[in-house]
Amino acid sequence: MTIQFNDETFHDDYTFRNSDWAIQRFPFPFHEDSYMYSVNLEPHLSLRPGSVYEKTFDVDEHYVAEMKDRARVLAEDPLRCQSLPHMTLAGWDLLELIMVSKAREYPDLFELHRDGDRWHWINKPLGIEQKFVFLDETTLPCGPLEYITRQAQGDYALLDQRDDNLWMDAGMVTTQADWSLDFDIGMNFFEWHAPVPMASELGVFQRALKFLLNLQQGAPVRRLNWTMTVNPLLDTSPENYHKWGVQKTALTPENVGSKQHLRVELQTLFRLPRSNALAFPIRCYLIRLEDLVTVPKWGRRLHRVLRDLPEELATYKGFIRNRPMIVEYLSQFDDGTPTSPGVFPD
């Protein structure tokens, strides 16, 4: 296999690590030295060989470990995967999208053989081989949404389009940044975005919904979102806040570089062919600050963004308590040199 998969954990002993390769391809989210909410959607086209934007669904060194972590979370809380009855067809659409994309773009890792509706799927990293009949749930060990997203990095929401709105009616959510599928399922676009400060006043969600309602099949889009996380936790869910929220108090000037992580979501949206639903993959990437600052441009820029971020955004993103400590740590990597435009390393 062309990718060397890490043996690592995202809980308890936190053995997660990024290789030099993973650091250099990290999806740094700030294209300038300041930040404010925007729609910031762009076509999800292949960009820069080796980057997280090259393939339809990025597979990296954390794949096997992330799938083990998903199985662990689901064993503790099966409600992290839910699908309302009318969303089964959308689940099959998503299964097809992921299988076809991965078999085409990672032929050394995944294979898909199709003979009419009789499909044969091979996932080499996870040691899975499954023959099934497409659109026949009885031929899979679980529903199509759960089956394929147990083998795909990132969270997945399936959005039903009706009444000039989008409704979160199905999903697999185990790596979320403090939101709950169990709480949000059945909500519309404005309802599940209600907690976000400032964006509604800026008209961000109104513009985004208008755009997404008109999203065409074969023209997927992407955007980046970000927050901060203490320790490399994938599962920062409200259900488990009592476990991870307290970890913010463990940050000190001595350990902030190793324990504080920038958490970035590569969010993509696809129009699905049979159901007309939207697939909304949310892929989480984590990087500790001491690794991020090895890219000088990123160290300087993150310092400036966090230093100048409006207080309500720092509060919403959950690091207001530790912002002075984080900014002080990053300041030693900011020599005042101007940064070049764009998100990629110089």
Q: Is 25 a catalytic residue?
A: no
2 lies in some domain: no
What are the pLDDT digits (tens) for 13-27? 999 999 999 999 999
Proportion of the chain above pLDDT 70, given as a percent? 98
Q: Name the β-bridge partners of 131.
A: 120
Give domain status of residue 305, yes or no. yes
pLDDT tens digits for 141-179?
Answer: 999 999 999 999 999 999 999 999 999 999 999 999 888
186's CB contacts (< 8 A; 6+ apart) are 84, 167, 168, 169
Residue with tokens 């476990």: 243
Stretch 77-89: mean pLDDT, rounded? 97
Domain count, the chain: 1
Q: How far apart (Å, rounded) are the C-alpha atoms in residues 319 and 309?
A: 11
Q: Is residue 14 part of a domain?
A: no
**Separation of alpha carbons 227 and 40, rounded Å:** 16
pLDDT at 38: 79
**CA separation for the pair 25, 53 (Å, rounded):** 9
Enclosing domain of residue 230: 20-331
The per-residue pLDDT for range 86-126, each reduced to its tens digit, is 999 999 999 999 999 999 999 999 999 999 999 999 999 99
Q: Distance between CA atoms of 276 and 279, rounded to whole angstroms?
A: 9
pTM to 2 decimals? 0.96
Task: Examine residue 255 and state whether it is found in any structural domain, yes or no.
Answer: yes
Residue 339 in domain? no
* Tens digits of residue pLDDT in 288-325: 999 999 999 999 999 999 999 999 999 989 899 999 99
**Tens of pLDDT along 31-77?**
999 998 777 899 999 999 999 999 999 999 999 999 999 999 999 99
Q: Is residue 160 part of a domain?
A: yes
End-to-end CA distance of the chain: 30
> How much of the chain, in percent, has pLDDT values that exceed 90?
91
Query: Of 72, 223, 307, 323, which residue is the catalytic one?
Result: 223
